[in-house]
Chain A
Amino acid sequence: MATPVLREPTYFILAALLDGPLHGYAIAQSARELSGGAVDPTAGTLYGALDRLAGQGLVEVDREEVVSGRRRRYHRLSDRGREVLVDEAARLRAAAEVVQRRAAGVNPSPSLPLQRKARLA
């Protein structure tokens, strides 16, 4: 299966789930903290993203609970989701390194494409 492209909200939503199963509100809070406020998903955005990620097999529904009259659905990261997230982090790190080296005046002359280099790292 092709590796899905992760946009910034999706990336931080998956990153929030690295700690374990979380419900929607906790995911939104965690994503906001991890992104430094750059990602502030609304209920519709978060729900749509989780639904799409579940369809791609990156996220699984863990359980449902009713807390103080409110139904909460917990999601957890699947093995494939963890793998995709780690790959994406490595790709971003490699891309950042290219810019940082060039900005520092070092010519890196990368011999491998970024995607492949990130996977080998």
Chain B
Amino acid sequence: MTDRVIDRLLLNCLRAYPRARRERDGEVLLSLARELSAGGSSPWGEGAGLVRGGVAERLRLRYRGVRGLFRADHRRLRALSRVFRTNPNRSGLGDAAGRGHAGLGLADAPEAPHTVRARPLAPGGRRAACGGALGARPVRRTEQRRPWGRAYRRPVRPRLLCGDQVRSASSPRSCRSATRCHRFRHRRSCRGASPTQRPSVRGCLGGGGRRGFSSSPR
């Protein structure tokens, strides 16, 4: 592994730390990790140490009960945190972290028996837990609350068609409001197009009648 690759690896792992901490101590920490890896320590081990330290730091900032991270096999994890067992998602991680044991054998979850493993790998489970720990985008509640074992379907986002009024949104709008028309893939409104180009004038203007496009221009 070249020095450049090691630098990139360590730099990426350093991003596990909160921004304020990185700006304050990132250079010192990175120099130390480089020196240790140059002195015979494994760069992967140093990178893993940075990630673990960064995640622990984030968890400590968010949940005051967290003392640090540790590895645990799934049996120990279940014994430690019944909350996380029954609710293996982001909120479950938060509950477990509030009790002082977070981090939580997520890395060891694939080693668990299949029946147990299915839970952390269920939609919104393991990803949500990792995402919550790393400060990523929260997972939708519909995904969190879906019972395990049921077939999972990704929630369908309403597609905005020309002339469609988005009634579920806070402010009704049509495709004229600079929104992409998903059916015809044009960004602008079809209001100014010629009659042959616009499939449904009435639909585009939102002028009542039939919504959406017809297959042939009228």
Q: Which residues of A contact B (CB under 8 A)?
A: 24-25, 28-29, 40, 42-48, 64, 70-73
Contact = CB atoms under 8 A, between A and B. Distances in A.
Interface string B71-105: 00000000000000000000000000000000000
B84 to A, nearest CB: 23
Given A28-B32, A44-B51, 14 more contacts: A28-B36, A40-B41, A42-B45, A42-B46, A42-B48, A42-B49, A43-B36, A43-B50, A44-B33, A44-B50, A44-B54, A47-B32, A48-B68, A70-B35
Contact of A43 (B27, B46, B68): B46
Interface of B: 25, 27-29, 31-36, 39, 41, 45-46, 48-54, 56-57, 68
Contacts of A48: 53, 56-57, 68
Contacts of B54: 44
20 contacts: A24-B35, A25-B35, A25-B39, A28-B32, A28-B36, A42-B33, A42-B36, A42-B41, A42-B48, A42-B50, A43-B46, A43-B49, A44-B46, A44-B48, A44-B49, A45-B52, A46-B32, A47-B29, A47-B53, A48-B68
Nearest to B68: A48
A66 B48 CA distance: 25
Nearest to A64: B28
Contacts, number: 62
Given A28-B36, A70-B34, A70-B35, A43 B29 contact: yes
A71 B27 contact: yes
B53 A70 contact: no
Contacts of A24: 28, 31-32, 35
Nearest to B45: A42
B27 to A, nearest CB: 5
Contacts of B31: 24, 70-72
A61 to B, nearest CB: 10
A71 B31 CA distance: 6
Nearest to B26: A71
B10 to A, nearest CB: 8
Contact of B53 (A25, A29, A45, A72): A45
Contacts of B57: 48
Nearest to B10: A43
A44 B53 contact: yes
Most-contacted residue by chain A among B28, B45, B68 (CB, 10 A): B28
A28 to B, nearest CB: 6
A45 B39 contact: no
A29 to B, nearest CB: 7
Given A43-B49, A44-B50, A44-B51, A71 B39 contact: no
A44 to B, nearest CB: 3
B51 A29 contact: no
Nearest to A42: B49
